[in-house]
Each structure stands twice: as structure tokens, then as C-alpha cells.
Structure 1
Amino acid sequence: MYKTLFYLLSFFLFVNCSPDSKPDTITSENMYFPPVSGNNWETKSINDLGWKQDAVLPLLDYLELKHSKSFMILVNGRIVMENYFNGHSATTNWYWGSAGKTLTATLTGITEQEGFININNKVSDYIGTGWTSETLDKENLINCKHLLTMTSGIEDIANGDDVSPSKLTYKADAGTRWAYHNVYVKLQDVIAQATGQSWSNYFNSKLRDKIGMNGVWLPLDNNIVYFSTTRSMARFGLLMLNKGKWENTTILNEAFFNSATATSQNINLGYGYLWWLNGKSSYHLPQSQLQFSGNVIPNGPNDMFMALGKNDQKIYVIPSKKMVVIRMGDAADNVNLTLSDFDAVLWQKINALYQ
């Protein structure tokens, strides 16, 4: 049956499950990293972990029902589950959607640690003035950190995802309003200008190739998004689980990693540097100025941070469980995604593996 691949708007306000009702099994093994080249990757069985084999099939059935194309769980870097559905395979590329925002955040940190940029500097220091249609004094309020934290003050609804200057209009002073917007991609222009390299070449040399990912940036729905295999997405999740280090090599410095995966501003507590954060007292959703109480995913682990993309592309990183979870596929629900409970039910079924 199984042939071993948003908007984030798939959240919910009606789940009351405790995220950590029972301690999970955490192995004492060292963290494992697959070789940068080749397809070898160590595995660990459900039984070896002391997890519940009878919880596997309900999880897989749910994933297939919800239009998934792939699913992976890593523990300590080793593959515990790797499943493909609906004609997808380990060699098929699929889009990350907005989950790829975290790749841009990571490259921004790498660019800063190499001395090319300072995230507290104005965006216009790197790409020149006139990159928005705001007045010069308002445009010059926007620094690179505002793009990382979704606090640029750019109009987020009326002009859609278009990032041409004429569509980047003023809504509020930078730093005073959180709003999910595609303007973060201007960081890619900042990096290209500051390094003197193309965005894709710098990305490939400083991140992709160093951890053995495959993949390419391609146009999709008027955006440039990342496409890769599921294992490549898992490699990135593993890098983040290890705080920016691949084995003993620092790819992203830990100070930037810590800032990226912590609350980045005082408006949306559930948001870091283009990463979503669980376990905070409140959060905002895209295209909304409402504040909601509690966790983004109530029955997910409190320390989980997440890359979340259109049509339910997911990277969940859970430090306390030494775990990375990947889901790729089509949208889980073909209804109003704002009210989708996919994350809630998925985590209920993942929790059943070890609780």
C-alpha cells in the first residue's frame, strides 16, 4: 500500500491537548550526520526506540488521506520513518513554498558572519534607495532585521506578493507592525549585492553543497521557491537541530541560530527570523492582526520551531526529542485552510508513536 512528497494558514483554535503529557524516549546515542555525498543514511527502527509499532499504520493512513507525497522522522539524525505516497519517490523534487523562507534566514546569518552585511543596517545600504515606493525617510527606517522578522511596515494585503517597487507601499513605520509578506525576498538581493555573487551561487556554495543537499530555486506562482528531495529538506532540518553545525563544521554560527529560533519582536511572539515558534503565550497568523493565545500547535512540543510552507510543506525541529519531522505534498485540506486542523491531528498521531 505504501511505496517506501499555504499558506501557513493551517492552524486552529480549538485543540486542548497537552503537548508534553508523557515523556518521550530520547536515546543516548551521538548525533549522526549522513555523508555529504552518496545515499547512505543510518536508520533506527521503531522497535529500537521503544516506540509503538501499532501507531505507525494510523499515521501513514492519515498522511496518505491528506494528500501527502512524503514523510520522514529523524531521531539523532537517523531515519526512523521514510515513506512516499501517490507516485512520489526519494529522488523526486518538490517545492518548499514558504518553508524555504528559513533558507533565506540562514543565508542571511551566514552572510553576516562572513562580514558582508549587518542585519541592523538599512536595506538601502545594500540595494540602494527607491526599492519601495515609500518616502525616503520611511524607506530608510527599514533594516534587514525588519525583513527577517516580518516587521517592515510594508502593506501586506492590497498589493499581494508583488515586490516590485511600485507595489511596496507604506502601511506603518518599520518595527511597529507584524505582517506576513513576501518582501523578505529582498534579503536575497541584499546578499547578492553584498557578496558580489548571484543568490543561487552563494546559496549553493555556503549551504546546499556543504551539507549534501540537492535542489534548485525555480519560479512558482510568481515567486522563486526552492525545490528539492525530501532527504534534502531533512538534511536542513538536521543542521538546525544541531544549532547550525554539520558534525564539527559550523555552517551558521550559534548566536545567529539562537536569535533566529527565539521570539524576534514583541508583536508576534510565535515568530523568529522567518521561523515559526511553538510554546509561546500568543501568536499571530498571516493576513491577520489578531492575537491568539497559546501555542501555534497546541499538542506539538513546546520547544518546537517550524518551517511552514504553502500547501502544508513542513519542517518541524524538536530539540528536546532530538527529532526532525518532514512532510511534503499537496494541501491537506481542500477547504478553508485558515481553519484546517491538519497540524493538530498530525501531531496527535505522531505523539501516539511514543506516548
Structure 2
Amino acid sequence: MKKFLKIFGVLLLFLLIYLRLSIYPQLDLISGFSAKSVASGHFIDGRSLGTIQQGDNDIDKIDWATNKIEDKQRFVTSNVYGLKTRKAIYREGLGATLINDEFDVNKTYEVPKRNKTRNNLAFPFGNLEPKDTLFSNIDYDKLNIVVDNAFDKKAEKNKRTRAVIVIYKDKIIAEKYADGFDKNSKILGWSMTKSLTATYFGILQKQGKLNIMKPAPIAQWAADERSKITINDLLHMNSGLEWEENYGKISDVTQMLFIAEDMTQSQINKPFVGKPNNTWNYSSGTTNLLSGILRKQFKTHQDYLDFWYSSLLDKIGMNSALIETDMAGNFVGSSYGWATTRDWAKFGLLYLHKGNWNGEQLFDPSWSNYVATPTNGSNGKYGAHFWLNTNGDFPDVPRDFYRCSGYQGQMVAIFPSQDLVLVRMGLSEEFDFNGFLSGVISSIK
């Protein structure tokens, strides 16, 4: 018996050491992710705590967290078995922000000024319901089967699709939502937000206020070799700077999203591990650095906040859209963009029409070609904050297809040669996108 207890004690000691070294440091990130996710889902889209925990937060380790919503004071606290409590606050116009103990919740803050003027036009160029349109070249029976098959059957939890919309020649030809979601549900796009962020550089360049081929205006780089990094390099994720994009552990990206006060600074102090325009490395830190560069283009923080909506989101009627901010008040351009499925589709249509929105040119037509041109070192997979199919990663889908893509399989797919935009929102990347996209295309004769 004594020998057994001794062995048990040694094993228990090793277990405690393992937990302390490998798990405990992650608790900040686990409770941080959970608090932020619950606050955003509840206060932005009105989801219940149970719905969020059973859907958005049923991720390995994240489901360890215990969450509490304070509706009156509009914040959420989360902890892991009573340890590492984190707090996320909600502020109208800025969304949910994960905060630390030093954050002054009573400090005044600026919010974007929105122009959500409604017009009498039908979707997509207005706020009215789309007009029913039947195309003789579409096999609607086949199309509906493809769309239905994108969703789980009852009691299944595999594909986890929440919404699908298919738009052909500016008309909705298919639209479907999972139980609990509809056309008004706001859904997080995760890294699809990167494509939004990049678009502001195209807008500013068309306005003659920015030249993306010039060196990035980063004071910390002025005296060393990093001064050669251009905005163009950053837009292509091709700066040559060090960055680890790994969501399964403590890494650059998880520390930025769940610890950093000012996310625009996370990439700045990284050293070279390659050369500009020669070393592609996907980096959310780069996108938030670009958000910081956008801030430098405006005299006031209010102007910076307003620009994201007045020049793009409200301009094309993405009135449901919300980009959340970090503790320093910067838009988290890498990850935290919310919108309805229909509004995400409007963004795809803007690119399908090469920056022209109902007669107004928001960015130069060449910009859509720019973002869809492969960057050096990406093996044809990546352009300028958009993912590509140049090398046929989706073998049964046209090569000119390009897309906004986000964690858990969010996608805005743009098909220039088919005059087609598709949106799929969901909770799993274990989804047959090649089969789904090719199935929709084959239904159009």
C-alpha cells in the first residue's frame, strides 16, 4: 500500500508540474477568447449564453471556461475553474473589447459616426427586399440540392454551416440559414476582415492620398534595413518579418488578440527572417500594423474611425457591419469584423464590379486585379489580403476565383468569369468547399 501511494504521489507531482508548465500559461488565452466571444456574440447579435457556449465556444480547451454575462453593465467575465478571470466590455459602436486590469472603463471614448440612410432600391444596392428573378440558364433543382447539402441534417454536427447565399448577376438565386440564424443575424468573419482592411488602401490610393509602393511609415524602422519594407509588401504579407500564426498555443497571434493593449504594435518590433517581397508569411500582426498605418493618414482619431464606415461599409450599404476595436481604440483589422450574410455578399459584389458600386467608383478597377495577383513565395495561393486559386487548390473551380477567407470556414467567393458571388458562414473548415462551389457553378448552364 505504501509503495502504491508513493508511486501515486510521484505521478501526481509530475502531473501538477505538467499542468503548471504547459496548461496554466494558456489559461489567460482560454478565458480571454471565451470572454471576448461571449461578449461579442451576445451584445452584437443577441445570442444567448447557451447558444454561444454550445456553438461558438465548443472548441477544445475553450469549453473549459465558465462565463457570466452582466447585461445591465454590458460586460462578460470568464475563468477556467476559477483561475485567470478575464473581462470583455461592450461599447456601442466599438463592439466588444477584451480588457486588462489597468484599463479605465470610465474613460470617455469616441465612436464612429454612421450614415445608415435607407433608400428605395432593392438589394444589393438598397435596403429593400430583392426582386424575384428567374434565369432560364439555371437548374434551380440542382442548385437547391447543392445548397441544402451544405448544411447538417438534424442531429448532425459535421459541416456546421450557418448561412449560404448565392448571387448571380446581382440577384439572389439561393439563400439558406441554419436554425437560429436568418438574414438579420450578424456573423463574425474572422480573417475576412483582412480583405476589408486592405480595401481602404485601394480607396485612399484612388483618392490620391496614398502611394502603396512607398516605404511603410514606421518610425522604428527608419534607421535599419526594415526601412525598405513598403506598404505593398505588407499588403502581400511579404515583409520578411518574423511572425508565428498558430492558434493552438501561445504564439504571436494569440498573444496579440488576447493580451495586447495596442494590436497595431505587435508586428513592429519583429526582426527580419527573410527579405521584403521575397518571403511570404501569413500574419494577422501585419494586418493590424496596416490598421495603424491607416490611423496615421488622419489628423484625428475620430476621422480614422469615421473613414472605415463612410468610405466603404456604409457607402455600399453594409449597415449591419461592425469592426471591433482594441484597448487603444484601433480597429482590429485582422479578425473582428461582423456583418449579416447579405452584407458580406455586398463586399464580394463590390470586387466583382471592380470597385464600382451602383455607378460610383470607390477604388480603381485595377485594384481588383492587384489583390488577385499572386504574391512572391505564396505558390499562387495569396494575393493582397485575398486568397487565390491560381494553382488550382480547388481543382474543380475556375482559376480566376478569389476569396476572403476566415477561421472556421468563413468565405466570400468571387467568380469574375461567372458573374457570381457566394458566401458561406459556418463553424468548421472541415467542409467540402471544392464540391460545394463546383456544384453551384455546374447548376448554371
Instruction: Check whether TM > 0.5.
Output: yes
Unaligned runs of 5+ in 1: 6-31, 281-293, 334-340
Unaligned runs of 5+ in 2: 1-54, 56-120, 153-157, 246-250, 257-264, 327-331
Cα deviation, residue 36, structure 1: 4.5
Alignment of 1:119-138 (within 5 A): 119-124=212-217, 128-130=218-220, 136-138=223-225
Cα deviation, residue 67, structure 1: 0.7
Alignment of 1:231-310 (within 5 A): 231-265=342-376, 267-278=378-389, 280=390, 294-310=391-407
- Matched to 1:151, the amino acid is N
Q: In the alignment, what sits opposite 1:8?
A: none
**What is the alpha-carbon distance in structure 1 between the residues aligned to residue 426 and residue 225 of structure 2?**
40
Q: Could you list the per-position Cα deviations for residues 98-123 of structure 1 after superposition, in whole angstroms to 9, with x for gaps in the alignment?
A: 11211111111111222222111121
Identity level (%): 23
Match of 1:216 among 309, 319, 322: 322
Cα deviation, residue 81, structure 1: 0.6
Alignment of 1:149-228 (within 5 A): 149-157=236-244, 159-161=251-253, 162=256, 163-164=265-266, 168-182=270-284, 183-198=286-301, 199-214=304-319, 215-218=321-324, 224-228=335-339
Call closer, same or farther: CA 1:197–1:303 in 2, change over 3 Å: farther
Cα deviation, residue 267, structure 1: 4.7
**2:407–2:429 Cα contact (<8 Å) kept:** no
Query: Which of 1 and 2 has higher RCO (CA within 8 Å, sep 6+)?
Result: 1
Q: Could you list the per-position Cα deviations for residues 143-165 of structure 1 after superposition, in whole angstroms to 9, with x for gaps in the alignment?
A: 10011101011112285223525
Q: In the alignment, what sits opposite 1:285?
A: none
Q: Could you list the per-position Cα deviations for residues 54-93 of structure 1 after superposition, in whole angstroms to 9, with x for gaps in the alignment?
A: 4522431333351111100001110001111131111111
**What is the alpha-carbon distance in structure 2 between the residues aligned to residue 342 and residue 69 of structure 1?**
15
Q: Could you list the per-position Cα deviations for residues 265-296 of structure 1 after superposition, in whole angstroms to 9, with x for gaps in the alignment?
A: 36532322111121x2xxxxxxxxxxxxx312
TM-score w.r.t. the length of structure 1 is 0.76
Q: Computing the radius of gyration over CA atoms, which structure comes out larger, 1 or 2?
A: 2
Greater per-residue helix proportion? 2
Superposed structure 1 runs of 4+ greater than 6 Å apart:
none
Q: In the alignment, what sits opposite 2:104?
A: none
1:57 aligns with 2:163: no
SS of 2:166's partner is strand
**1:119–1:143 Cα contact (<8 Å) kept:** yes
SS of 2:191's partner is helix
SS of 1:70's partner is strand
SS of 1:63's partner is coil
Match of 1:66 among 159, 165, 185: 159
**1:33–1:247 Cα contact (<8 Å) kept:** no
Cα deviation, residue 129, structure 1: 1.4
Q: Which moved more, 1:264-273 or 1:238-247?
A: 264-273
TM-score w.r.t. the length of structure 2 is 0.61
- Matched to 1:138, the amino acid is E
Q: In the alignment, what sits opposite 1:148?
A: 235
**What is the alpha-carbon distance in structure 1 between the residues aligned to residue 305 and residue 421 of structure 2?**
25
- Structure 1 vs Structure 2 CA RMSD: 2.6
